Structure 1
């Protein structure tokens, strides 16, 4: 029996922040995959190597973790005052679906670099030396993001001395600004209103099987996120991946918490829908500062941080922190009375240093009340990015 040859598709494998993924220009994809739908999803699943019951992604470009099972599609922006449209797909590891419901803040740091290097930014906007300001339209969440990409001799500068906990080697710093990051589209669609706090409160109580009655801060900023106190669910906030990811019962309880939180936020209309919406919302638990040792063996002192945060991504404890969740952390910390703000000591603040499993991260946000509603104008953080490999990805034809 004869089999057709593999497809050959131009692609770039990039690291952005503490994530990495396969980047495509929209018009390089096969025609059937240039529009949303089953053909696109099937192609990208095969690129990554999902679904993989062995959990390895041996026959694809994925890394079998939430941080490395990612795809990005970019094109010149169709919107005024923007350079590039950015669409992100979070690929499930063991199930045949891609979640398009949210953004990847870490890979956002690589979007500007890719756009410049691949002709998606007008040459007139790229300096010979200095910083190129790339205006990104994040299509998943319908938000503007600004990336400040260093340029040397007219090309993207990727090497440098900026160090990011969770990334082994230093690189050039890329500052990313998430403009008006409170994401309200899902809330509006589900009749919960457009508030940054979908319940209208900075702290709520709700019942979760296996945990009982919990306090939580539900927030739409960067990515829909549910914050709970570590102590209320039996943790200290200093946990590393093994303490949770190797405990099947704990993972099941976290998924139950996520599903009930998604229902409370109006992101789903029934608990059953949570299984097909793995990327959002995120679950994070917070605690006051404490000494701990990071996953690399680095000692983190309580005096060096404002708050401890651990976050779940795609059903597992993240090895560092998702960029979009960092936006949620910065925003919640800036609003007095949220669980994040209280764990950080309370009061007014426009930046926070939080401890995560791989180390620490400083993030900032500007929040204010307008007509009794909290809003945030932007959140800022620094990341780094670089090309790991570029050329073509091969995919067996169906």
Structure 2
């Protein structure tokens, strides 16, 4: 009954009976229980609302969207962003902090993430007692218990420093790989709507993939499905660096190898200004060096898509993340480079429209999905008992 109330707008007992197949008495009892718990509220009847009808007006109900809050977190290597929403996933507040790449340790990350969540709650006049579900996306494989395996240089443990324990004060806690959450967001709002076989390629600082096959998100024993370390061994790719980092590096190499008198607007950039987004902007403006770089990155992307297509047979590969803004020319170049002689048909290659918030939005969607399924198991939250 609660799942029906979550999905419905306002509803009557007759509406709920038709959708759930329950008897009238059971339906009314369940609705009254949800009202007593504070999860559903009764609306004014038709006469009180000014919508007069003959006969006894039907009782109308609606989910109490403000009964609790959801927290979605994008905990990347160089940033942590927190989004606080109501139960309908309507944003209430956001907090964000940026970090230099590889600049913090596990305890520092734990404290920063917890502090940003508390700041978001304070900004919305809420407390931890109001939180129903928290979902965090991290750039690391995550197993079913919310933990990441050991990494040779400690990166995965640093990105996910036992966050499932740090956030155990919340009734429902979910830690996921960030690319998997991008896949959630693409299914909910983006290019994967209506698609059951797709890969969300998160292509920011490093490559990561959220892989959905037959409508199911793949994880693996250690959460390693979609990890891109295999590209260390793919000729012409040579690693899991993101597309933006590759564009900047290729542009630096091109400028160093080009006669200094050759025309390129990239030469006017100061130290630290040459990043992937800037290269794409200059390519769009017609800079010859930047355009050559776009074609090179497109060729690399085509190789990546070819491997993903051979491994998972997706209908679509969606380039997601902040780099997706302005990457249309790279995607077009990759489409031209996709091989036509591979055994399986090449997947459709699409640039996401969800931008830099794709992981945060996926985290909110995943928190909402868990809350929808498990609220009655944990309600009321510990602080309200």
Q: Quick check: which one's helix share is greater?
A: 2
TM class by shorter chain equals under 0.3
- Whose Rg is larger? 2
Q: Quick check: which one's strand share is greater?
A: 1
